[in-house]
């Protein structure tokens, strides 16, 4: 979280990156601090892909958060 990540849900964090090159910098940082055990997955998606997600809290659909152009989910 000190590197600009926000918790999207328990154990899933995201971070906006303005370009693929910028995302690569953060991916390298995450790889340097991987825990000795456990699982870490890194997925890069575009703003358009993120915008197609449907979010629900209980049975109520909620408006998607306003997001920049590119997100990284960790």
pLDDT in tens, 4-41: 888 888 888 888 888 889 899 999 999 998 989 988 99
Q: pTM of whole model > 0.75?
A: no
State residue 5's pLDDT score.
86
pLDDT at 25: 92
Helix or strand (DSSP H, E) at 61 = strand 60-61
Q: How far apart are CA 55 and CA 32, in angstroms?
A: 32
Distance CA 24, CA 53 (A): 24
Give the model's pLDDT for residue 16.
83
Q: What is the pLDDT of residue 72?
A: 57
Provide the edge-to-edge strand list for the sheet that holds 6-9: 6-9, 12-16, 70-73, 43-46
Domain coordinates of the chain in residue numbers? 6-73
Q: What are phi and psi of 42, to 5 degrees?
A: -125, 125
């Amino acid at each position: 979280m000190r590197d600009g990540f926000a918790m999207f849900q328990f154990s899933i964090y995201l971070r906006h990156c303005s370009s693929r090159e910028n995302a690569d910098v953060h991916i390298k940082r995450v790889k340097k601090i991987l825990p000795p055990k456990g699982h870490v997955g890194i997925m890069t998606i575009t703003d358009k892909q993120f915008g197609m997600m449907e979010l629900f809290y209980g049975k109520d659909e909620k408006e998607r958060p306003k997001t920049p152009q590119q997100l990284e989910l960790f």
